[in-house]
Structure 1
Amino acid sequence: MQDTLYKTKRKVVHVVQHLSLGGLENLTLDLLDFSQPSYEVIIISLEGNKRQAILNWPRLKKFSNQIIFLDKPLGISFRILIDLNKIFFYLKPDIVHTHHIGPLLYAGLAAHLLNIRVKIHTEHDVWHLDNYKHRQIQKYLLKICKPILVTNSNKAKKTLIEKFSYPNIITIKNGIDCKKFQPASKILARKKMGFPENKILIGSSGRLEKIKGHDLIIRAIPLLPKNIHLVIAGQGSQYKNLNNLVHKLNLNKQVTFTGLLNNMPCFYQSLDLFCLPSYLEGYPLSPLEAQACGIPCAISNVGSSKETLCPNNGQLIEANNILEITKVLKKMLNNPININPRNFILKNNNIRTIVKQYESLAWRA
Structure 2
Amino acid sequence: MKIMVEIIQHLKPGGIEKLVLDIMRLQEPEIQVYIVALEGEKLACLKQWPTLKGYQDRLIFLDKDPVFKLSTIKRLKKVLTTLGADVIHTHHIGPLLYGVMATLRLQHMQHIHTEHDAWHLRDNKQLQMTKLMLRLNHITLVADADTVGAQLSQILGRGVKPVTILNGIDTEKFSPSLSHSRYKHNIRIFRIGCAARLVKEKSLDVLIKAIANIPDVELYIAGDGPEKKSLNKLVLELDLSTKVKFIGYTDDMVGFYHQLDLFVLTSSNEGLPLSILESQSCNVPVLCSDVGAVHEGVCQHTGHLIRLNTVNEFHIAIKAQMKRTSEYYPRDFITKHFDIRMMIKAYNQLIKE
Fold shared, TM-score > 0.5 on shorter chain: yes
Residue 193 of structure 2 is matched in structure 1 by 203
Structure 1 residue 187 displacement after superposition: 4.0
Conserved? CA contact 1:11–1:95, under 8 Å: yes
1:159 aligned to 2:148? no
For 1:76, the aligned partner's letter is F
Aligned to 1:29: 21
Look up the match of 1:49: 41
Say which SS state the counterpart of residue 54 (structure 2) adopts.
Answer: helix
* TM superposition shift of 1:332: 2.2
One of 87, 96, 111 as aligned partner of 1:104: 96
Q: In the alignment, is the contact (CA less than 8 A) between 1:189 and 1:267 conserved in 2?
A: no
Deviation at 1:163, TM superposition (A): 2.3
Match of 1:247 in 2: 236
Q: Residue 91 of structure 1: CA displacement? A: 1.7
Partner of 1:347: 336
The within-5 A match list for 1:1-365 is: 9-164=1-156, 165-187=158-180, 198-224=188-214, 226-363=215-352
CA displacement, residues 213-233 of structure 1 (integer Å, 9 cap, x when unaligned): 221111111232x11111111
Distance in 2 separating the partners of 1:182 and 1:289: 9
1:14 Cα deviation (Å)?
0.9
Cα deviation, residue 210, structure 1: 2.0
Give the whole-Å Cα distance in 1 for the aligned partners of 2:32 and 2:140. 20
Q: Which runs of 5+ in 1 are unaligned?
A: 1-8, 191-196
Structure 1 143/337 Cα, relative in aligned 2: closer, same or farther at 3 Å?
same
C-alpha displacement of 1:167: 4.7
Deviations 1:309-329 (A, max 9, x none): 011121111111111111221
Which digits, 9 at most, give the CA deviation of each residue in 1:43-85, with x for residues without a partner? Answer: 1111111111111111211110101111111222111111112
Which stretch shows the higher mean deviation, 55-64 or 291-300?
A: 55-64
| Contact 1:186–1:270 under 8 Å retained in 2 | no
Deviating more after overlay: 274-283 vs 238-247: 238-247
Deviation at 1:188, TM superposition (A): 8.1
Deviations 1:215-268 (A, max 9, x none): 1111111232x1111111122222232222222211122122222222211211
1:189-226 per-position Cα deviation (integer Å, ceiling 9, x unaligned): 99xxxxxx9211111111122221221111111232x1
Q: Deviations over 1:13-62 (max 9, x none)?
A: 11111111111111111111111111111111111111111111112111
Are the counterparts in 2 of residues 96 and 116 from structure 1 also a CA contact under 8 Å? Answer: no
Residues 187, 343 of structure 1: alpha-carbon distance in 2 compared, 3 angstrom cutoff? closer
Other-structure match for 1:6: none
CA 1:185–1:251: 2 relative to 1, 3 Å: farther
CA distance in 2, matches of 1:109, 1:239: 36
- Is the contact made by 2:149 and 2:161 (CA closer than 8 Å) also made in structure 1? no
Structure 2 residues not aligned, in runs of 5+: none
How big is each residue's C-alpha offset from its partner over 1:103-157, in whole Å with a ceiling of 9 and x where there is no partner?
1111122123211331100111111111112111111110111211101011111
Query: Are the structure 2 counterparts of residues 217 and 167 from structure 1 closer, same or farther at C-alpha, using a change threshold of 3 Å?
Result: closer
C-alpha distance in structure 1 between counterparts of 2:208 and 2:161, whole Å: 43
Q: Aligned to 1:363, what secondary structure does the other structure show?
A: coil
Range that drifts further, 236-245 or 264-273: 236-245
Secondary structure of the 1:47 match is coil
> What is the alpha-carbon distance in structure 2 between the residues aligned to residue 65 and residue 188 of structure 1?
41
User: Identity of aligned pairs, percent?
Assistant: 38
Secondary structure at the aligned position of 1:242 is classed as helix
Q: Is the 8 A contact 2:85 2:109 kept in 1?
A: no
Q: Normalized per residue, which structure has more helix? A: 1
CA contact (8 A) 1:217 1:322 kept: yes
> Aligned equivalents of 1:315 and 1:36: distance in 2?
36
Rounded to whole Å, the distance in 2 between the matches of 1:363 and 1:134 is 29
Q: Secondary structure at the residue paired with 1:274?
A: strand
| Residue matched to 1:194 | none
Runs of 4+ that moved beyond 6 A: none
**Conservation of the 8 A alpha-carbon contact between 1:85 and 1:114:** no
Report the Cα distance in structure 2 between the residues aligned to 1:186 and 1:235, rounded to whole angstroms: 29
**Given that residues 87 and 111 in structure 2 are in contact (C-alpha distance below 8 angstroms), is that contact kept between their aligned partners in structure 1?**
yes
Q: How many residue pairs end up in the alignment?
A: 349
